[in-house]
């Protein structure tokens, strides 16, 4: 039964939210829940799980431990998650004991790139040309249709540039497919975009939708480096980006916060200037600026949505630049904390490894004044 066809049962202060996953997103969700008088129970197999520091209760067990999963779900009023690669069997077990929001359909769609692209296409949402790849012959044929350069991505898993490789010519097909483990993949046409933008959007149990302003994202070594809020794009394009994100959450019967990544094509583009790249059925790194530039952050918005509360106003009171602290960059916490106007958010991780997200900082500017 859809959440919207059932009677809305709001989770009042004192209720308990189960969070699957113990990383920084789970940590910040738990902090936001506490501010609303809600308790959290984090489930994660990791020994060094920063979300467990901020939750009122935690369980350390595997995602394949059926008994532990059942006890976890029985102890909460609703289950949510901080990563999209939740095993299907894990989701099935949890759903027998508590509502899962966002729902299983959103999980299944977002964790398989082919299902995601087919879903977006069925909604009439523009995306890059793509092909289903199960072997080298598929890849060679697809390269002939789509052309080079192109991006070969594994259908499942992969983030921050992992699980993908760029092909500059058809002759690289066999080595590229082998380097990704010969697993099912998709081939995407390479898009010469002008900007990468994203929209963080929320949909509540009552069907209400609220989208934060689109932001411009800049990556370094395939990892998000900075997000600029708002993106400096025409108002009509910003409205189109919000409308696309809204359509996606409505079509998925989605409850919670979602990140929608898009490419902005040059003005010479013969089709829509906005193409959707990926969707993420969770709070999103490019939405961290909302923690300081909005009255309601993306984390509070997600808690409100999954608990049946009214969504908050996503309007900005400030412009912002969010900068990720990767690896040893977080070791400069004292200097960062000394800078006027800079809000520092550290994730409590014990080891600053290369490529590991250790925290982020938000710098605020008056409306219309961000660099």
Question: So what's the pLDDT on residue 161?
Answer: 59
R_g over Cα of the chain: 20
* Residues 24-51: tens digit of each pLDDT: 999 999 999 999 999 999 999 998 899 9
Distance between CA atoms of 314 and 320, rounded to whole angstroms? 14
Distance between CA atoms of 32 and 256, rounded to whole angstroms? 14
Query: Does 10 have pLDDT greater than 80?
Result: yes
Residue written as token pair 């710098």: 363
Distance between CA atoms of 363 and 365, rounded to whole angstroms? 7
Residue pair 51/23 in contact by the 8 Å Cβ criterion = yes
311-340 mean pLDDT:
97
In order, the DSSP letters of 35-94 are HTT-EEEEE---SS-GGGGTSSEEE---TT-HHHHHHHHHT-SEEEES-S---HHHHHHH
282-to-85, 167, 203, 206, 333 alpha-carbon distances in Å: 11, 30, 12, 18, 27
268 CB neighbour count, 10 Å cutoff:
7
pLDDT range class, residue 8, cuts 50, 70, 90: low
Q: Which residues contact 81 (CB under 8 A, 6 or more apart)?
A: 19, 20, 21, 100, 107, 282
pLDDT range class, residue 270, cuts 50, 70, 90: low
Question: So what's the pLDDT on residue 159?
Answer: 63
- Domain architecture of the chain: domains with CATH: 16-110 (3.40.50.20), 129-189 (3.30.1490.20), 195-365 (3.30.470.20)
Question: So what's the pLDDT on residue 64?
Answer: 95
pLDDT range class, residue 226, cuts 50, 70, 90: very high
Query: Does 7 have pLDDT greater than 60?
Result: no
Highest mean pLDDT among 248-257, 269-278, 346-355: 248-257
Give CB contacts under 8 A, 24+ apart, made by 333-341.
Answer: 333/359, 336/361
Range from 64-73, 262-271, 316-325 carrying the lowest mean pLDDT: 262-271
* Residues 115-149: tens digit of each pLDDT: 999 999 999 999 999 999 998 888 989 998 998 89
Q: Which residues contact 13 (CB under 8 A, 6 or more apart)?
A: 36, 37, 38
Query: Does 278 have pLDDT greater than 60?
Result: yes
Question: So what's the pLDDT on residue 3?
Answer: 45
Query: Does 13 have pLDDT greater than 90?
Result: yes
Global pTM value: 0.94
214-218 mean pLDDT:
98
Query: Does 2 have pLDDT greater than 50?
Result: no
153-157 mean pLDDT:
87
Question: So what's the pLDDT on residue 157?
Answer: 74
Q: Specify the higher pLDDT residue, 171 or 342.
A: 342
* Residues 169-212: tens digit of each pLDDT: 766 787 888 888 889 999 999 988 999 999 999 999 999 999 99
Burial status of residue 294 (CB atoms within 10 A of its CB: 0-12, 13-18, 19 or more): buried
**DSSP tag of 270:** S
Query: Does 82 have pLDDT greater than 60?
Result: yes
């Amino acid at each position: 039964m859809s959440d919207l066809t059932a009677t809305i049962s709001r989770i009042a202060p004192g209720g308990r939210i189960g969070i699957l996953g113990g990383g920084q997103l789970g940590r910040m969700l738990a902090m936001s829940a506490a501010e609303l008088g809600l308790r959290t129970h984090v489930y994660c197999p990791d020994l060094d799980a920063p979300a467990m520091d901020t939750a009122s209760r935690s369980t350390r067990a595997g995602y394949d431990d059926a008994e532990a999963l059942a006890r976890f779900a029985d102890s909460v009023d609703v289950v949510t998650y901080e990563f999209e690669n939740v095993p299907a069997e894990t989701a099935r077990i949890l759903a027998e004991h508590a509502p899962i929001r966002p729902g299983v359909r959103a999980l299944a769609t977002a964790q398989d790139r082919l299902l995601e692209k087919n879903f977006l296409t069925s909604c009439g949402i523009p995306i890059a040309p793509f092909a289903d790849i199960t072997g080298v012959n598929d890849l060679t044929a697809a390269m002939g249709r789509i052309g080079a350069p192109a991006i070969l991505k594994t259908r499942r898993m992969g983030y921050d540039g992992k699980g993908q490789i760029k092909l500059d010519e058809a002759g690289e097909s066999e080595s590229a497919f082998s380097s990704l483990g010969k697993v099912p993949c998709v081939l995407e046409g390479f898009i010469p975009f002008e900007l990468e933008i994203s929209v963080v959007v929320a949909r509540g149990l009552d069907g209400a939708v609220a989208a934060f302003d689109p932001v411009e994202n800049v990556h370094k070594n395939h990892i998000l480096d900075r997000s600029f809020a708002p993106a400096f794009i025409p108002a009509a394009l910003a409205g189109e980006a919000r409308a696309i994100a809204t359509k996606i959450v409505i079509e998925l019967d989605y409850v919670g916060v979602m990140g929608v990544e898009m490419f902005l094509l040059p003005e010479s583009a013969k089709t829509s200037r906005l193409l959707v790249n990926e969707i993420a059925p969770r709070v999103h790194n490019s939405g961290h600026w909302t923690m300081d530039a909005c009255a309601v952050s993306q984390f509070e918005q997600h808690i409100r949505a999954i608990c049946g509360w009214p969504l908050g106003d996503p309007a900005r009171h400030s412009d912002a630049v969010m900068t990720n602290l990767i690896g040893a960059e977080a070791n400069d916490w004292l200097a960062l904390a000394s800078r006027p106007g800079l809000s520092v958010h550290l994730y409590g991780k014990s080891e600053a490894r290369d490529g590991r997200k250790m925290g982020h900082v938000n710098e605020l500017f008056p409306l219309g004044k961000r660099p």
